[in-house]
């Protein structure tokens, strides 16, 4: 039998098995369905509805030596197949969209992985709750996608990273089991096992659901824009605000070109703008606002009109507008201690570049560092590459391969990115000689 017909026979048999698990209507090898999975080019797509089904699918695929790629809303590019000859199954989570529990006393929500962030937020809003003020550009992503492959934008100073709000996960594993990590405040007993799955793609299994911390919709949300003569003082004002212990719902710094893009042309120059969206009890937000004004004034900055801030914030809450503004970007994680030097070097490289080529913005600020972003393909992004600034989201831990070999020794789960990277060993000397 030729390789091609053996492949087809295997695919056919596997498809029948999968149909037994999820029902024939939820497995498809039809071209029209397969094409929607683009670069994945699967032999079939399967749509499970619950965690036990996912586990059985993985177990069955393992028995057939098939490879499984997991897709949510497909807002992000899937990884490439590693061994082209294997039967390929795309496991799509679009039927797993239930909110399983909403506890308004403990402020936790348990949801399946296929729910889109937008729908989860809408459901929470009905109870005057929110996950936090994550950028609306994330709203079309599924919860599973956001937890398995967390984008850098899934962060606010108020909530931390979205994965930090996870109290527990349910995972279907290639051996056919489903595990649920115990839900507790700051899970304390032993290592945080959920962390093995968060940010691991589907390397170790499929996150089928999660319990997340939610918060009450704040009583007051106050967006503030402040103007600075240069990026350095705008960044410093944000840093000082964080040093006071304030946790804004958004904290960003825009350089002139990016400021024009986001704020329009107010009729005066905007060399550097700091944006702080304060949220919480009214009296506290007011006090924080006063503290921010004081910091700004001390650094020689000034406040921009409240109307401009309100308009910007309203636009940030509009999915359509945010989606058009969101562009592929290149970011680098920096420390405050090196920021000024990096910026000077970058400016030097950029010379008199302007417009999109020179756009820069700063996001994901914490007391310990920040992220500097530029549109992908711009002169600024190229300069960042030339300067060798590490790209955000690329850092993989050592030991991943060793863990993978134990957890999934058949390689059923489609690997993300180049797992063949050698582990980063910082010291391997045997000093005993």
Partner 1 sequence: MTTAPRDTEATPAAPSIAAPPDRRLTEAIAELEQLLGAARVSQGDADRLTYSRDMWPRTLLAVRDGVPAVAPPDLVVWPASTSEVSAVVRIARRHRLPIVPYGAGSGVCGGAMATRGGIIVDLKRMDRVLEVVTADHLVHAECGIIGQLFEEQLNRRGMTLGHFPSSIYCSTLGGWLAARSAGQLSSLYGKIEDMVERIEVVLGDGRVVELSRDQMPDLGALMVGSEGTLGVITRAWMRVRPLRDFRIFRAYRFPRVAAGCEAMRRIMQRELRPAVTRLYDEMDTLMARPSKHDRPDESSLLGGAGALLGGVDADVQRSVVRAALSRAGMLSKVAESLLPRISSGCLMVLGFEGDRALTEVEAALAHAEALAAGGEDLGQGPGLHWWDRRYAVSYKMSPMFAAGALVDTMEIATTWDRLLELYDEVRKALSRDAVVLAHFSHAYAEGCSIYFTFAAAAKDRASSEALYDELWRRGLDATTRVGATISHHHGVGLSKAAFMSREHGEALSVYRQAKHALDPDGVLNPGKMGL
Residues 54 to 83: which contact partner 1 by CB under 8 A? none
Q: By CB under 8 A, tell whether 422 contacts partner 1.
A: no
Piece of the chain touching partner 1 by CB under 8 A; list 32-40, 280-288, 346-354, 374-382: 280-288
Piece of the chain touching partner 1 by CB under 8 A; list 119-127, 306-314, 373-381, 397-405: 397-405
Q: By CB under 8 A, tell whether 132 contacts partner 1.
A: no
**Burial label, 20 (beta-carbon count in 10 A; 0-12, 13-18, 19+):** exposed
Please name the residues in contact with 175: beta carbons below 8 A apart, sequence gap of 6 or more. Answer: 59, 62
DSSP 8-state symbol, 335: -
Sign, Cα dihedral of 331, 332, 337, 343: negative
Shortest Å, Cβ 194 to partner 1: 8
162-191 residues in contact with partner 1 (CB under 8 A) are: 167, 177-191
Measured distance CA(21)–CA(107) in Å, rounded: 34
Shortest Å, Cβ 207 to partner 1: 11
288-307 residues in contact with partner 1 (CB under 8 A) are: 288, 290-291
* Start-to-end Cα distance in the chain: 56
Shortest Å, Cβ 154 to partner 1: 12
Please name the residues in contact with 352: beta carbons below 8 A apart, sequence gap of 6 or more. Answer: none
Shortest Å, Cβ 234 to partner 1: 16
With CB under 8 A as the contact rule, the residue among 50, 220, 221, 407 that binds partner 1 is 407
With CB under 8 A as the contact rule, the residue among 9, 16, 77, 335 that binds partner 1 is 335
How far CA 100 is from CA of 107, 140, 144, 308, 320, in Å, comes to 14, 20, 14, 40, 29
Q: By CB under 8 A, tell whether 419 contacts partner 1.
A: no
Measured distance CA(67)–CA(69) in Å, rounded: 7
85-124 residues in contact with partner 1 (CB under 8 A) are: 103, 105-108
Shortest Å, Cβ 87 to partner 1: 26
Shortest Å, Cβ 323 to partner 1: 25
Cβ(385)–Cβ(330) under 8 Å? yes
Please spell the DSSP secondary structure of 377-403, one letter per residue.
TSHHHHHHHHTTPPBTT----TTHHHH
With CB under 8 A as the contact rule, the residue among 218, 223, 248, 301 that binds partner 1 is 218
Smallest CA-to-CA distance from 343 within 288, 290, 280, 389 is with: 389
With CB under 8 A as the contact rule, the residue among 77, 83, 216, 321 that binds partner 1 is 216
Piece of the chain touching partner 1 by CB under 8 A; list 70-78, 80-88, 304-312, 423-431: 423-431
The binding track of 339-368 with respect to partner 1, each residue x by CB under 8 A or -, is ----------------------------xx
Residue 16 tokens, joined: 């029948």
Measured distance CA(89)–CA(87) in Å, rounded: 7
Sign, Cα dihedral of 412, 413, 416, 420: negative
Shortest Å, Cβ 180 to partner 1: 7
229-268 residues in contact with partner 1 (CB under 8 A) are: 243-246
Q: By CB under 8 A, tell whether 388 contacts partner 1.
A: no
Beta strands 220-228; 302-303: pairing state: antiparallel
Shortest Å, Cβ 208 to partner 1: 13
Q: By CB under 8 A, tell whether 425 contacts partner 1.
A: yes
With CB under 8 A as the contact rule, the residue among 281, 305, 351, 355 that binds partner 1 is 281
With CB under 8 A as the contact rule, the residue among 35, 406, 418, 420 that binds partner 1 is 406
Q: Mutual orientation of helices 336-350 and 379-386 as an angle, nearest 10°?
A: 120
């Amino acid at each position: 039998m030729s390789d091609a017909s053996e492949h087809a026979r295997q695919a056919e048999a596997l498809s029948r098995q999968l149909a037994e698990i999820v029902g024939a209507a939820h497995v498809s090898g039809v071209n029209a369905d397969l094409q929607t999975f683009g670069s994945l080019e699967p032999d079939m797509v399967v749509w499970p509805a619950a965690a036990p089904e996912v586990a059985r699918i993985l177990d069955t695929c393992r028995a057939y030596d098939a490879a499984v790629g997991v897709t949510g809303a497909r807002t992000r590019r899937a990884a490439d197949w590693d061994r082209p000859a294997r039967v390929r199954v795309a496991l799509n989570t679009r039927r797993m969209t239930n909110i399983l529990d909403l506890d308004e006393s403990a402020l936790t929500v348990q949801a399946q992985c296929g729910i889109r962030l937008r729908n989860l937020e809408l459901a929470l809003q009905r109870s005057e709750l929110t996950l936090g003020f994550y950028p609306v550009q994330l709203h079309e992503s599924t919860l599973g996608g956001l937890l398995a492959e967390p984008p850098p934008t899934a962060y606010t100073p108020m909530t931390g990273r979205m994965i930090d709000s996870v109290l527990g996960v349910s995972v279907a594993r290639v051996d056919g089991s489903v595990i649920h990590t115990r839900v507790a405040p700051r899970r304390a007993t032993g290592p945080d096992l959920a962390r093995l799955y968060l940010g691991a793609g589907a390397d170790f299994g499929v996150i089928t659901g999660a319990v997340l911390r939610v918060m009450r919709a704040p009583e007051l949300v106050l967006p503030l824009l402040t103007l600075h003569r240069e990026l350095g003082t705008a960044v410093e004002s944000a840093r000082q605000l964080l040093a006071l212990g304030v946790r804004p719902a958004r904290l960003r710094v825009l350089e002139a070109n990016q400021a024009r893009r986001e704020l329009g042309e107010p009729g005066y120059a905007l060399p550097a703008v700091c944006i702080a969206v304060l949220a919480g009890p009214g009296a506290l937000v007011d006090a924080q606002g006063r503290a921010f004004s004081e910091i700004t004034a001390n650094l020689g900055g000034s406040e921009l009109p409240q109307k401009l801030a309100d308009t910007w914030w309203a636009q940030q809450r509009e999915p359509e507008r945010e989606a058009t503004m969101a562009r592929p970007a290149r970011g680098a994680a920096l420390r405050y201690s090196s920021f000024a030097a990096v910026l000077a070097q970058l400016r030097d490289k950029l010379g008199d570049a302007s417009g999109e080529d020179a756009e820069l913005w700063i996001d994901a600020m914490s007391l310990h560092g920040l992220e500097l972003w530029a549109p992908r393909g711009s002169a600024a992004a190229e300069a960042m590459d030339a300067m060798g600034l590490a790209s955000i989201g690329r850092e993989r831990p050592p030991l991943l391969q060793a863990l993978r070999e134990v957890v999934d020794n058949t390689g059923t789960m489609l690997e993300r990115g180049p797992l063949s990277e050698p582990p980063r060993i910082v010291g391997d000397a045997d000093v005993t000689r």
